[in-house]
Amino acid sequence: MTQQKRTRERPFAEWAEYFEGNLARHERLDRTIQWGSISPLPASHIAAIARSLQRFELGESGEGRGLRSKAARLGDPYHDTALALFVAEEQKHSALFGRALRRFGVGPLEAHWSDAVFVQLRRLIGLRTEVTLFLVAETVALEYFAALERSADPVQRGVARRVLTDEVEHIRFQVAQLQLGFAGTPAGLRMLAAAAAWVVAVGAATVVAIDHGPALRVGGVTPLAFWGRGLRHFRRAAAEAFGSGARRARPGSGALAHPEPARDRTTTEAATHPRSAEAGSRHEPEGPAAHPEPARRAA
């Protein structure tokens, strides 16, 4: 069977292979994080980042049982494998955030209203809508991690860079699921689903801009700038996910643009903290779409 025919008949086989291949890459990237370094940040900046990371740590710590149960009804073992590995990667992010918090001497949150709302919404809806919520969350969060990557703290930079290398592909994965889920759906219903997603995206971007404003400012991004950039990421991703003529999203396909171009960073940052060649190869845009916010809990 040719690669093209195999991809057409088993569209999530390549996603399962991609996530399986990430295990070794994650180990290499995790070793580059300077956990033993001393943070140069003032106490006020540490408090702002810690408060923000607590919410992300909680949001990405779930096991995704509900999501995986809904997806299992599709009867695609490759999709099941890819989804399980996706959830595992989100849990790894939570572990990284937890370790970063412990370095600051801060513990995790037991609960937060935004996470509770997100989880309850997902439990009440079907698979396509739940994947749409993840798309919203992850595209909006991209700009947050781009801001965190500008931190003067080497651990925060390393964790943000590590998460960004995953999130870009996670968004492509959500887009691929929605493209398949809406295949054959009339254009009017697609537009209706996209409009509903836009309402959620505007709300999510607003909540993050307000709730995580102090941490964003530490990264040199105002809440208003974050809000606009986050929604631009969502707009590009939504065009790929809900559009009828979009190219199918595949791992490393370039369907999504990287959060913030290097021109928005200082020359020193760009020279001192370049993206790894491996990560960069996945982030080079070849097409018109973009990404979203952090995935909240996959429970």
pLDDT, tens only, 136-186: 999 999 999 999 999 999 999 999 999 998 999 999 999 999 999 998 889
Q: Does any domain span residue 293? A: no
The domain tally of the chain equals 1
pLDDT of residue 224: 97
Residues 293, 138 contacting (CB under 8 angstroms): yes
pLDDT, tens only, 27-86: 898 999 999 999 999 999 999 999 999 988 886 656 666 677 777 777 899 999 999 999
- Confidence class for position 283, pLDDT limits 50, 70, 90: very low
**Highest averaged pLDDT of the listed ranges 83-92, 115-124, 227-236, 282-291:** 227-236
Domain span including residue 37:
11-283
Residue 81 CB coordination number (10 Å): 17
Q: What is the DSSP letter of 268?
A: H
- Confidence class for position 8, pLDDT limits 50, 70, 90: low
- Confidence class for position 128, pLDDT limits 50, 70, 90: confident
Q: Indicate the residue type of 7.
A: T
Q: Does any domain span residue 290? A: no
Does the pLDDT value for residue 23 go beyond 60? yes
3-state secondary structure of 289: strand
pLDDT of residue 118: 55
Percent of the chain with pLDDT over 70: 74
* Distance of alpha carbon 162 from alpha carbon 130, whole angstroms: 25
* Distance of alpha carbon 297 from alpha carbon 117, whole angstroms: 11
Residues 12, 76 contacting (CB under 8 angstroms): yes
Higher-confidence residue: 10 or 21? 21
- Residue 205 burial class via C-beta count within 10 angstroms: exposed 0-12, middle 13-18, buried 19 and up: buried
pLDDT of residue 24: 87
Q: Which two structure tokens, joined as six digits, stand for 78?
A: 């490759």
First to last CA, the chain: 36
CATH number at residue 46: 1.20.1260.10
pLDDT of residue 74: 78
Nearest Cα to 56, choosing from 199, 159, 158?
Answer: 159
Q: Which residues contact 86 (CB under 8 A, 6 or more apart)?
A: 19, 64, 170, 173, 298
pLDDT of residue 62: 60
pLDDT of residue 245: 72
Q: Does any domain span residue 296? A: no
- Residue 40 burial class via C-beta count within 10 angstroms: exposed 0-12, middle 13-18, buried 19 and up: exposed
Does the pLDDT value for residue 279 go beyond 50? no
Q: What is the DSSP letter of 291?
A: -
Q: Does any domain span residue 245? A: yes
Q: Does any domain span residue 222? A: yes
Q: Does any domain span residue 3? A: no
Residues 103, 260 contacting (CB under 8 angstroms): no
Output phi, psi for 256, to 5 deg. -125, 145
Does the pLDDT value for residue 264 go beyond 50? no
Q: Does any domain span residue 42? A: yes
pLDDT, tens only, 181-220: 998 889 999 999 999 999 999 999 999 999 999 999 999 9
Higher-confidence residue: 2 or 47? 47
* Distance of alpha carbon 153 from alpha carbon 38, whole angstroms: 8
pLDDT of residue 288: 35
Does the pLDDT value for residue 7 go beyond 70? no
How far is C-alpha 87 from the chain's CA centre?
11
Nearest Cα to 135, choosing from 210, 52, 242?
Answer: 242
Q: For 270-277, what is the mean pLDDT?
A: 37
Does the pLDDT value for residue 5 go beyond 90? no
Q: Does any domain span residue 289? A: no
Q: Which residues contact 272 (CB under 8 A, 6 or more apart)?
A: none
Strand intervals (E) in the chain: none
Does the pLDDT value for residue 280 go beyond 70? no
